[in-house]
Structure 1
């Protein structure tokens, strides 16, 4: 993602063309401010190395440099400036030594300090102009009256100082000339050495950036369908619209521009998921069936680099039912089970206790809590019931004790009392298409759970609950419990209006319709009215046994 700091544009992440790493980068040919100075990195390459960089007028992603390489470039530029300054100093010194009529600088003669007696700190009287010091004067330590000053052999000391200064100057000149001679020899040796052309260092591309580029290339150059999921619902990665039918998801995704995917995939932390039901090239009308064919096609025909790795993104062929793993051909009834299975092939987060595989670290952490001996409980303050998470306790308190809705709709401000009500709300209010047809009959359901129960009950005939007193079997334990009332004679379901009791709840529900619904079925002989046709037929059997029942069939 690109951004702008107070010093200039910044790309994070970006591929540095100097070291090949995926880091936070800047533009090579943009002017940046550093410590009050303006710097353009492409110009610094020219100044330091005489290197003209290519593709500086192309895409921004092709002309990036990371902060590490910028620091090295600044060091090289500073070193170049240091060398130039030293060369300038050396040339000036050479001109000074070998130039004509050049008078060497002579240091100023050192002053001769006069020693005062500690008893008197006053300055001595100024001597007259004609009072000149005798050149043969020697200090004999005798007091000279008022002028109490001792000078130790001034004539010889001045001569010695001058000789020392001259000797230092000569020695400095000899050392400078020797340095210049050695420098000249080194330069001549360097001129004789044949300069070898620089060998271009092979750029090492970061693995994460390589996976990112492969995924973006695949989406932008083919008709594959990127998607996101929540359990077994499919989401459009561009607008987050939800689908249950993969065909409608693919049809909808074609309405979006695939070039927007490169910005979306960088923001998503989860492993990208790609539906390869249709691959076909977007750049030309070639039909392609497999990723290997698409890879060869891009490399050979369009000259694009594409090296897909199975662990870079998850590949599926989405169908409404019977989803198949493309690695081992194992079949699953719904997507959530398939994705959990895919973690066994490509999940890098592995539980060290049981070996379970996960794609994300957070899911592994949640799984590892199940192995802990002491489970952390979150008791309800009102009734003392324990829950495994704070969220579960919050939902319990909101629904049971506070009587407040707790399920927020993601598309509006509505808050519902249960997950089921929110599910219905998304279908009825926001028009989400959630229809799961049965592949064995013409029935359809609005949830996978209902479809699964229908298949087990109606088609697979999975009846695990058997009556101990007869051979009847039932799909649900509640149905077995209702059936047991036929053996015991219990009639636990009583009507609150008329007092009639029934052994099954369904019987009571049918009866309750007689109290609130319109009585459409009327007997033509006695005028008795009923809410259901079955009740009319039973009435005729009991009260009018000698008549033909077909006359009363409505």
Structure 2
């Protein structure tokens, strides 16, 4: 069989490799053999091969050239002979986030749901940024704003938070119990456009003083911040692939994943003292407060800046009229900060007394209280008055004593001419001298 017959018989791609091998072998065979010098003749006389061999060699080279050309044509045909892909027109992309925002705007404008935002566990009016700790006060205040302006103040990048204590329609007198009923009512009765394929337009809460329950599963929480964090378990779209924790924002998930790999946890050290911090903000506040003596806590309602959170807190109450009242659910005590209420609950109701005296087995909430108590066993009096030399076992007792050296007698009896520098002495006077009078009850 000739080389042409081999090429003509090629019908599939499997033969191409074999044909390439044949061509390579042929190339090896047609190489010219080295000329042989005839020693018996003159060195200039070269013995030549017969003419028939030369012609056969040229003919073989032409055939191989044609074979390679056919191989190239077959390869080109293989590239072009591919199956035709049918193009299918995709459906128009539906922007779920856009529809969710439009749905939220429509429902807030047409109902009594109360939009708000939070910083920690404080509630803020979405329209004017005024702060509230009482949910009823927040709802009453929000009604003074026109809901049509909501779209001008909303932040599309953040989750929409709404209180659904009241969902009634603003356009008519209809009483509505849930968000699904509100959507149906607004579309059928008032002709509003609500995208039915979109849900979870906002995070729904029923704000209460004290414990609050999740509107999805009923689980209770003592503070709003804990409830909001829990809502990510229902609606968070960023999920940890290690432990399954849910988050609303990608940055929170990224920060969470570092706990699974301690090597990824970044620390920020102070260049002045070497103290380590977990965030740049904490380091900045430390440097501004400790090393540079600069104010770093700014008021969100004016341009004032303060050296501490507590000074800013006091400023908001005195200058901007913010009222923070945190009543205890277990007794009649009322506090002006959430921290004070938390400390009260732990100490008085939960009885988290971890510090026990080794002498009498009394327990205390703070280690400093245990330390003061131990002086009753040791008899130590380490706090001495610089005026009269009297010593006391506790700093508090010394401070009370120091008032006796104050020439100003602040506590004056309204029933006689007696006056005192210490409140305890004044109370004792009222009990001993004016026991039958009820006026002293206001100091008890």
Q: CA deviation at 1:401?
A: 2.2
> Partner of 2:355 in structure 1?
465
Secondary structure in 2 matching 1:429? helix
| Pair 1:284 & 2:172 matched | yes
| Pair 1:377 & 2:267 matched | yes
Q: Of the candidates 423, 426, 432, which is equivalent to residue 550 of structure 1?
A: 432
> Partner of 2:107 in structure 1?
218
Change (3 A) 1:384 1:277: same
Secondary structure in 2 matching 1:226? strand
> Partner of 2:311 in structure 1?
421
Structure showing greater radius of gyration is 1
Secondary structure in 2 matching 1:463? coil
Change (3 A) 1:340 1:536: closer
Structure 2: distance between partners of 1:279 and 1:437? 27
> Partner of 2:189 in structure 1?
301
C-alpha distance after superposition, 1:448-495 (max 9, x if no partner): 111122223233333232222223222222212221222222223333
- TM-score, L = length of structure 2: 0.69
Q: CA deviation at 1:429?
A: 1.5
> Partner of 2:294 in structure 1?
404
Secondary structure in 2 matching 1:219? helix
- Name stretches of at least 5 consecutive residues in structure 2 with no aligned partner: 1-89
Q: CA deviation at 1:284?
A: 0.7
| Structure 1 moving runs of 4+ over 6 Å | 201-204
C-alpha distance after superposition, 1:98-155 (max 9, x if no partner): xxxxxxxxxxxxxxxxxxxxxxxxxxxxxxxxxxxxxxxxxxxxxxxxxxxxxxxxxx
Q: Of the candidates 446, 449, 456, which is equivalent to residue 346 of structure 2?
A: 456
Computed over aligned residues only, the root mean square deviation of the Cα atoms, in angstroms, reads 2.9
Number of matched pairs: 341
For residues 127-526 of structure 1, what are the structure 2 equivalents within 5 Å?
A: 205-265=94-154, 267-306=155-194, 307=196, 310-374=199-263, 375-516=265-406, 518-519=408-409
Q: CA deviation at 1:530?
A: 5.1
Q: CA deviation at 1:292?
A: 2.8
Q: Is the 8 A contact 1:378 1:389 kept in 2?
A: yes
Structure 2: distance between partners of 1:536 and 1:495? 22
Structure 1: distance between partners of 2:192 and 2:313? 45
Secondary structure in 2 matching 1:293? helix
Q: Is the 8 A contact 2:406 2:421 kept in 1?
A: no
Structure 2: distance between partners of 1:459 and 1:491? 32
- Name stretches of at least 5 consecutive residues in structure 1 with no aligned partner: 1-200, 541-548
Q: Is the 8 A contact 1:214 1:308 kept in 2?
A: no
Q: Is the 8 A contact 1:537 1:552 kept in 2?
A: no
Secondary structure in 2 matching 1:238? coil
- TM-score, L = length of structure 1: 0.56
Change (3 A) 1:254 1:519: closer
